[in-house]
Amino acid sequence: MKIPGTDCDVSVPVNKRVSIPWTFPTHAICVSLFLLCSCATERSGRRQLPQDVDLNREAGRGGLVFVNLRLKRGEELPFIVDTGSPGTLFDRTLLPKLGFRLPLGTWSVPFGNEKQKSGVYWEPKLYLGNTRLKTGRLCAVVDFQRLSRKLGHPVRGILAMDCLKHYCIQLDFQAGKMRFLDPKHLDTVQLGRPLPLRLFFYSQLFTFHKGLAGGKASRLLVDTGWNGDGLVKTNSSTEGASGGWVHLQDCVWNRETYTDLNLRTGGDVLGLNFLARHLVTFDFPRHTMYLKLVSPGPLKDQEFLDALEFLKNLKKTGQVPGWSKDDKGTISFETYRDPGIFGFAARKEAEPTVCHYTIMRKSKEDSWKLQKAWRTDKSGKTIEEFPLPWAR
């Protein structure tokens, strides 16, 4: 989602935005279509709620939240759950299977630092398990190939606010569950601190609060499609920012204390890794988000800690390409790929580029190995691939 002052990117590194929102055009025909989309409703009556969904292991630990949605014909497709994106998107390769005919119009879809032209189509029926989801009326299609390669995970679409806003959804990262709850029967006392939610600019989701680095209260974008802690505006708390990044050893936000936050400067965003420190309940029908703190620090597991320790030991002995044993900086979890493959990002002090490292092992009995090393500029573009010393 492109908002004023942010640097949108579809690259995989943690704290980089990978949500791919789109906006509605302003010409008359599509404004009319948007009004149709906004005003049309299903018949009143109690809808069946989907069953609980198992979260993918890397969700909230540097990875995004994926759910498998089913088309009417039964094919399951991996979708990113993205509260930062207003409208549901489909992969362009699905056009023949979705039964789309001639487009109703065209939209320009912001996709990272570029825009893709898309046709406007009636949105097909989507199912989670055997339950049909209530969605919007219109959708767009984009090319997800690049994003799939970056994430190491196939992406066939984005499930966005035009669907999510109809439900009360709980993300329990400790239990690894995504739950659909009845908003009329919530035990709100057990759900943590409430924060108001508002939809602006074609269903972009905001709460009103100060940012993670302090400052005045303002609109905070709540974005599960940003696989990092978030973005902050530059102020006295971010004076040590390097290359557009700032590390907060600790901070107090919403009367809770948090540790070890890696943030990008230039906006006001609560990202998925920050949200994952809580039991998160999005009561969209009642415009409220509940956050119950579970872990003050980022979510990690023992396998991650083992891989991180291996990388640190390589640095101590000067065996990490592009990052000498004397270089100072921070290292953060970048991505997880099952089985046993972790990505890390190293940021040197006062240097805008980022070094990336992939650590892997075939099984728990095997030793960790450095599989790949490369460097990117501040926009996430690869500018150098490092040869591995032992691969010469």
290 vs 10, higher pLDDT: 290
Tokens of 125: 């029926």
What's the chain look like in SS3? CCCCCCCCCCCCCCCCECCCCCCCCCCHHHHHHHHHHHHCCCCCCCCCCCCCEECCCCECCCECCEEEEEECCCCEEEEEECCCCCCCEEEHHHHHHHCCCCCCEEEEEEECCEEEEEEEEECCCEEECCEECCCCCEEEEECCHHHHHHHCCCCCEEECHHHHCCCEEEEECCCCEEEEECHHHCCHHHCCEEEECEEECCCEEEEEEEECCEEEEEEEEECCCECCCEEECCCHHHCCCECCEEEEEEEEECCEEEEEEEEEECCCEECHHHHCCEEEEEEHHHCEEEEEECCCCCCCCHHHHHHHHHHHHHHHCCCCCCCCCCCCEEEEEEEEECCCEEEEEEEECCCCCEEEEEEECCCCCCCCEEEEEEEECCCCCEEEECCCHHHC
**pTM for the model:** 0.74
Which pLDDT band holds residue 354 (cuts at 50, 70, 90)? confident
On the question of pLDDT at 276 being above 90, the answer is yes
pLDDT of residue 58: 83
Which pLDDT band holds residue 10 (cuts at 50, 70, 90)? very low
pLDDT of residue 40: 38
On the question of pLDDT at 7 being above 70, the answer is no
Q: Compute the average pLDDT of residues 237-259.
A: 80
On the question of pLDDT at 18 being above 80, the answer is no
pLDDT of residue 390: 56
Average pLDDT value over all residues in the chain? 82
On the question of pLDDT at 389 being above 50, the answer is yes
119-147 pLDDT tens trace: 888 888 999 999 999 998 888 999 988 88
187-216 pLDDT tens trace: 999 999 999 999 886 668 999 999 998 888
On the question of pLDDT at 44 being above 70, the answer is no
pLDDT of residue 264: 87
Cis peptide before 86 (omega within 30 of 0): no
pLDDT of residue 77: 92
282 vs 343, higher pLDDT: 282
On the question of pLDDT at 26 being above 50, the answer is no
Phi then psi for 36, rounded to 5 degrees? -60, -45
Domains of the chain: 28-181 (2.40.70.10), 195-287 (2.40.70), 302-391 (no CATH)
Q: Compute the average pLDDT of residues 373-383.
A: 86
